[in-house]
Structure 1
């Protein structure tokens, strides 16, 4: 009996589907030549989705690159790359646009910010609004930073360590590091009077951090499957608990309230920059002025940027400082060497208890140029990189070549991750070891190679805009502390780094004992 036309149509559709979704991706696609993470990865994203859901991505990808080399296929339309030439350099300085990952995860107030912008031209325009206020020359010379640094260090942070030292008390520094990072950044962003005071206000600090980090277990669904979350909620199935949205709303309300106060301050006191630099909202004022010059101030856009910047600042710098203190606390002889270097500054960092009005801090340029201090921070940023996870991009429409493989089609999701890049033994011998001396004693050739693979701040047009301020803030905290105290580890259980796009200690703690010098 002859087959009917509908049956023939179904058979043809089935054969076409088998070819398109199985035979082509598994055998004929240019990606089929690339080593694959899992037998199913050629034809299905289920494996990599499971790895992300289980929060195992960074170590898993690192293991794959050690096994298979510089490029690995993770899914039918996704690649992980771990090389400089034909990888990091090509992807992040070329015409590779961001993916929806950034919009899904980092949008605030339903409004895009500079970090979430996919279009490179729009991102470049927004970034230029703030590039000067974040530049190294401005950061090192800023009257606002000069005043806020003295206040945050000597009125807030150092008295806590001095009290702990005098009472022989051990102190958990991890959340305090988040507090210092947030307070020092928001003082530059909004001024001392309107920025956070998380160092002294422990209740507010814990409210913020509990809300901020409490949402983390549901980030996978929000980032990778937002449409599924939305559809499920419409039929009464809450994949993401409602309190997660409430936490986001509460944090956004707190942030925009600070923006409103800064707006009122600038409106009522336009000369505050010169009259009272410690209370001048320098970053907010800069972007506000740029928007007014362009097409009028947009409060939601500014607020979205401000929220994104201080959220990134407190988490990344806070985690980095925790690991700096951990590594130094295990090496008293290195603390001594660092203190000897700090004593070459003139003036030196004064002892805690010195009135702020009597303090003249060392020249920020001199602090920045201290070689051992710089090596300690640089090696911590390498070994314990605060943003270890993949940075996603899309291959350009015309296709490209990556890691020696040609004809990779357009629209493929590709990424490098600092966690793997920083563990390249050819650039960083004994990569799991924390060795500041690798930066101090490197040959010019070795130093050049390390810098090529070093990716703590990203690269290209999307390089971290706040790197200069973060470096200044962290170096001043380290310098002020180790000029006046020694530290030793009391409890570092769980110090190993968690998984995630950003990541700190698994145990969310580091307990130290401080002793006055």
Structure 2
């Protein structure tokens, strides 16, 4: 039995070792100790950054930190925020830095089924992305008979009549919820076909049901995303940091999406699949389904494991991707359209200028349709309009709908923002909210100025495009950016060809904080006036 003196010495040694490992080394000797710190405690604790995230002020806080401390800031013992292009954005996001557990914790669907967005390793992600990259490519989207036919139907049969009614009755419309509805309907029509996809524009009760379940869970994401182990342990102790109704809401939304996938599967499995008209064809679903069928020489793991939910091959794999894509589409495009209409409604002269440009389309997108055989103009012509493009680009910059940090992990020892020897396993991230407010690249960054995209020199434009991060960059760049731009440009073009807009109530239009973030007030009331 050791003597008391030996035990005391051993205890002191353990304490000293712990002090060295958890305080002295990280605070004074680690390569990260040389990097400006957000707070004195971040050298040895994650409490500060977790508090910032829990109180939902991360984006604004990080922005101020970079203004005061430079292009790289230490946010935790093994966490950095980076706000520069060379040695930062370019290195991290085009250099193959893998994703972190953040994405698994937040974006896994159907309990344990991954999707393209949450895959951590690049190989798994790139394999899945190759399945869908063509159907999402700009050339395919702009030439797609399905995208063209569904765009016309949604604009003329669903959306524009609502604005005409507002003009006729002189009653204002709350457009934020409607923008979510349009974004979802437009995307899902390309994803599943017009008949199977959502109809949130006209089915207001279903829209309210979906949006309530989708957004009411948001305040609880901190627990499951940032501190999942702690949250699970608390649950085992009988303390639910995430209420049961949150889990129930997630299951309800997943089942809603799964039902739509099942309908698309039934359509494509039927003898009538080959004769399905373009307007009803589930373009995105069909492509991933066909790619899986080609890739699966033997049954996939979920089938061999006899998962009772896998009633046909790859049911949950495809459904997880489809859910992730349509959830992202409705939120990001819906928020973007709301802010664009807000900014345009402040500028009657710009509305007039845009309408003059839109009337150069052949044919223009007039409502009511000038004839029963009216067709939308060539999507390539819509996409090429310079003022329309500048207005959308500036909205995506100033009011970026995914403003939060995009975490990655250093794959090994590397250099970032002029600091060498940064070890592997460090969480590093940049944020569009901060990148888009660099005054050296975007002068007067808080102002919404579409003209900055029209008047810039070639060098200035190239620099803005390098820092423009509304859709991310590198191999993990948002796969849906082309269909998103297509649907948003068509909505903007249809509205401002036929109507002017004025603000009735924009209280709370300022942006919330978070990984994704819409208007704090969750509303925008506009009056439409037919031209």
Question: For this structure pair, what is the TM-score category when the shorter chain's length is used for normalisation?
Answer: over 0.9
Task: Map Cα deviations across residues 189-245 of structure 1 (whole Å, 9 max, x no partner).
Answer: 011111000000000000000000000000100101112222222221111111000
Give 1:17's aligned residue: 18
From 184, 187, 205, the counterpart of 1:185: 187
Contact 1:350 1:359 in 2 (8 A): no
In structure 2, distance between residues paired with 1:27 and 1:233: 37
Shift of 1:349: 0.3
Query: Which residue of structure 2 lines up, in the alignment, with residue 239 of structure 1?
Result: 241
Tell me, yes or no, if the aligned pair for 1:186 and 1:195 is still in contact at 8 Å: yes
Contact 1:147 1:278 in 2 (8 A): yes
1:234-277 Cα distance to aligned partner (Å, 9 max, x none):
221111111000000100110101000100011114544x5411
Displacement after TM superposition at 1:478 (Å): 0.1
Correspondence for 2:305: none
Paired residue for 1:255, among 236, 254, 257? 257
**Separation in structure 1 between the aligned mates of residue 368 and residue 446 of structure 2, nearest angstrom:** 35
Residues 1:492 and 2:506 are matched in the alignment:
yes
CA-to-aligned-CA distance 1:280-339 (integer Å, 9 cap, x gap): 000000000000000154111100000000000000000000011000000000000000
Q: State the SS of the aligned residue for 1:117.
A: coil
1:389 pairs with 381, 397, 404, which one? Answer: 404
Question: Which stretches of structure 1, 4 residues or more, deviate above 3 A after TM superposition?
Answer: 269-272, 352-355
Match of 2:310 in 1: none
> Which residue is equivalent to 1:88?
89
Q: Does 1:337 align with 2:353?
A: yes
User: 1:196 and 2:194 equivalent?
Assistant: no
* Aligned residue runs from structure 1 range 263-412, under 5 A: 263-269=265-271, 271-272=273-274, 275-295=276-296, 297-352=313-368, 357-397=372-412, 399-412=413-426
Taking the aligned partners of 1:327 and 1:111, their CA distance within structure 2 comes to 40
1:474 aligns with 2:488: yes
In structure 1, distance between residues paired with 2:373 and 2:397: 37
Distance across 2 between alignment mates of 1:358 and 1:516: 22
SS at match of 1:98: coil
- 1:165 counterpart residue number: 167
Structure 1: segments with no counterpart, 5+ residues = none
Distance, in Å, in 2 between the alignment partners of 1:352 and 1:57 is: 46
Quote the Cα distance in structure 2 between the aligned partners of 1:14 and 1:414.
30
- SS of the residue 1:469 aligns to: helix
For residues 318 and 207 of structure 1, the distance between their equivalents in structure 2, rounded to whole angstroms, comes to: 16
CA distance in 1, matches of 2:42, 2:199: 48
* Secondary structure at 2:375 match in 1: coil
Inter-partner Cα distance in structure 1 for 2:271 and 2:461? 48
Matched residue SS, 1:247:
helix
Contact 1:148 1:184 in 2 (8 A): yes
- State TM-score, norm by structure 2: 0.95
Matching residue within 499, 511, 521 for 1:507? 521
In structure 2, C-alpha distance between the alignment counterparts of 1:227 and 1:34, rounded to whole Å: 28
- The answer to whether the Cα contact below 8 Å between 2:267 and 2:273 also exists between their aligned partners in 1 is no
Q: In the alignment, which of 96, 117, 120 is matched to residue 119 of structure 2?
A: 117
2:447 and 2:167 map into 1 onto residues whose CA distance is 30
Alignment partner of 2:420: what SS? Answer: strand
- Please tell me the root mean square deviation across aligned C-alpha atoms, in Å: 1.2
Residue 327 of structure 2: SS of its match in structure 1? helix
- Structure 1 pair 354–156 and aligned structure 2 pair: CA distance change class (3 A): farther
Aligned residues: 514
Indicate the residue corresponding to 1:79 in structure 2. Answer: 80
Q: Distance in 2 between matches of 1:32 and 1:227?
A: 27
- CA spacing shift, 1:352–1:229, aligned 2, 3 Å: farther
Q: Which residue of 2 aligns with 1:452?
A: 466
Counterparts of 1:133 and 1:95, CA distance in 2: 24
Task: Tell me the CA shift for residue 3 of structure 1.
Answer: 5.3
**Hey, what's the Cα distance between the residues in 2 that align with 1:387 and 1:22?**
35
Q: Distance in 2 between matches of 1:266 and 1:352?
A: 35
Structure 2 CA distance, aligned partners of 1:119 and 1:354? 52
Contact 1:150 1:359 in 2 (8 A): no
Distance 1:95 1:144 in 2: 34
Give the Cα–Cα distance (whole angstroms) in 1 for the partners of residues 401 and 370 of structure 2: 33
